[in-house]
Amino acid sequence: MNFNLLIQKQLFCSLTKCYNQKASQRLLSGTTEEAKRQSELFFLESKRQKEAIGRIEKINVNYVGVPENALLLMNKNLSTPFDCAKHLGEVVANRSALALINGETIWHMHRPIPESCSLELLHYNITQPAVVNKAFWRTCSFILGAVINNAFKENVHVQLHSFPSPNVRSGSFIYDAQISLEDWTPNENELKVLSSEMVKFSQQGYQIRSLDVSVDFALLIFKNNEHKTRQIPNIAASNGGKVTLFKAGDHVDISKGPMITNTNHLGRITVANVFKLNTDIPGGPIYRFQGVALPRSIILNHVAYSIIEERAKKMNSARIPCLQGVSEEESGYIKPTIG
């Protein structure tokens, strides 16, 4: 009797294990070997940079805002605005999208603070949210890139190209990618799958890390992507010899930043349409992926959302990438300031 029960139990265990394995395989089937290599390199480099700091010094961070003003004693070049936010409470930490340092410099939430400063934390429902909206739109493009990388079958060759400077008024965020499919027009179901992949990715709640790296290291990370390899020297030239990388989950990409804190800030997401672009870039057709998304904290009724969804289906008029010159997002590295 007992023996039978034991066998049954074991069988059940092994079955559930099998099932779990299968489920996890299906979930993980997206992440490619290449993405894993890139994220591993990113991790090692961030570890190296952290260890190179040496003796830890203290800085005073003067927080201004809700729930109350506070003076925080933080670690120089180690502590990030997110660490400060964690001292102020879970609600503040979870909703803050960007940091404002000394009242003028927009700062990524996971970027270490180099000196004593005053700190404000920005979220989506403030009186002047233009900067936050822009960072949100940029992050959406970045995440869309991750989704494009993961969503296609293995026989389809995907190479991300770039995304233009975010413009909320244009009605959609964009990622341009090279895909080895001739004359592909996605049907409704394919777009739905892309949307749901993006929802799944963002619901993983990945913190979006940022890292400044040298040109050589950037070239090493993107050695299998000829477009990025071509762009990197230009980007570095306009950014003092450094390339800013961002990472969410296993996806690493170049962007001047800043981005929002976490992928779970995204609420409603739609990948609205994909267009084939007319460019002179060699190696295959370039497709423009367009989408629209709203922060989780902003809830919109479905009628209003369908209006902006419909608009996102129209071709976005942002600059089409070509062989000569790089897009604004990559070239124009200006010290990001408010306004």
Partner 1 sequence: MNQSEISHLVSKLRIKVNPRLRKFRNPEGPLGRLKKLQKTVTALIKHERIELNYPRAEEARMYAERLISDAIRHGDCHKTTMENANFWITEKQLIHKLFKVLVPRFENYHTSYTRMHRAPRPYPGPLDKKAVLELRGNPYPSLIPDNISNKHLIHNVLLDEAKKEYRALKYAEIAAKIESEEKVVLQDVNLVKDVTSKVEDNVKM
Binding stretches for partner 1 (CB under 8 A): 124-125, 127-130, 133, 136, 168-171, 292, 294-295, 297-300, 304, 307-308, 310-311
In the bound state with partner 1, the residue whose beta carbon lies nearer, of 242 and 313, is 313
How far is Cα 193 from Cα 289, in angstroms, rounded to an integer?
13
In whole angstroms, the minimum distance from the beta carbon of 298 to partner 1 comes to 5
Which tokens in the block code for residue 74?
């933080």
In whole angstroms, the minimum distance from the beta carbon of 118 to partner 1 comes to 24
Which tokens in the block code for residue 129?
């949210």
Q: Are 261 and 285 in contact (CB under 8 A)?
A: no
Collapsing DSSP to helix, strand or coil, 173 comes out as strand
Alpha carbon distances (Å) from 201 to 129, 162, 307: 25, 20, 25
Q: Are 294 and 267 in contact (CB under 8 A)?
A: yes
In whole angstroms, the minimum distance from the beta carbon of 65 to partner 1 comes to 16
In the bound state with partner 1, the residue whose beta carbon lies nearer, of 2 and 127, is 127
In the bound state with partner 1, the residue whose beta carbon lies nearer, of 1 and 304, is 304
Which tokens in the block code for residue 28?
């993980």
In the bound state with partner 1, the residue whose beta carbon lies nearer, of 242 and 311, is 311
In whole angstroms, the minimum distance from the beta carbon of 199 to partner 1 comes to 18
Within 10 angstroms of residue 188's Cβ, the number of other Cβ atoms is 7
In whole angstroms, the minimum distance from the beta carbon of 122 to partner 1 comes to 12
Pairing between strand 173-179 and 209-214?
unpaired
